[in-house]
Amino acid sequence: MLITAAALFAIAALGGLTMAYIHFKKDRNPPGALAALHGVVAATALVILLWAVVQTGSGGLVAWALGLFVVAALGGFFLVSYHVRKQRLPSRVVVIHAAVAIAAFLLLLGGLVAA
């Protein structure tokens, strides 16, 4: 299950990179459909990761990754609120959201290697 979650987070990260490119280089918000797909894939991965942690009692790096992914998800919800209001996404929040998600992903990979 951890590998499935990591694969889905990697796919979500590709969508996130695409949206960051659109935000910073095209100077506009990414399409809502891309944001929704990114969120659905990441949320699916988060649920699988949560299930894996609960089922296996995983701790350490994987548990830290789960916690950081939850924080990243909260940042994602905050960014969605800007999409809904048709306002420009705050660049600082985009960067923080990405940085937290990247840190969580690296911890998850570390947990996979250590397992």
The domain segmentation of the chain, as residue ranges, is 2-114
Tens-binned pLDDT, residue by residue, of the chain (115 aa): 999 999 999 999 999 999 999 999 999 999 999 999 999 999 999 999 999 999 988 889 999 999 999 999 999 999 999 999 999 999 999 999 999 999 999 999 999 999 7
* pTM given for the model: 0.94
Contact 114, 61 (CB under 8 A): yes
| pLDDT at residue 58, rounded to an integer | 82
Assigned token pair, 112: 């996979």
| pLDDT at residue 67, rounded to an integer | 98
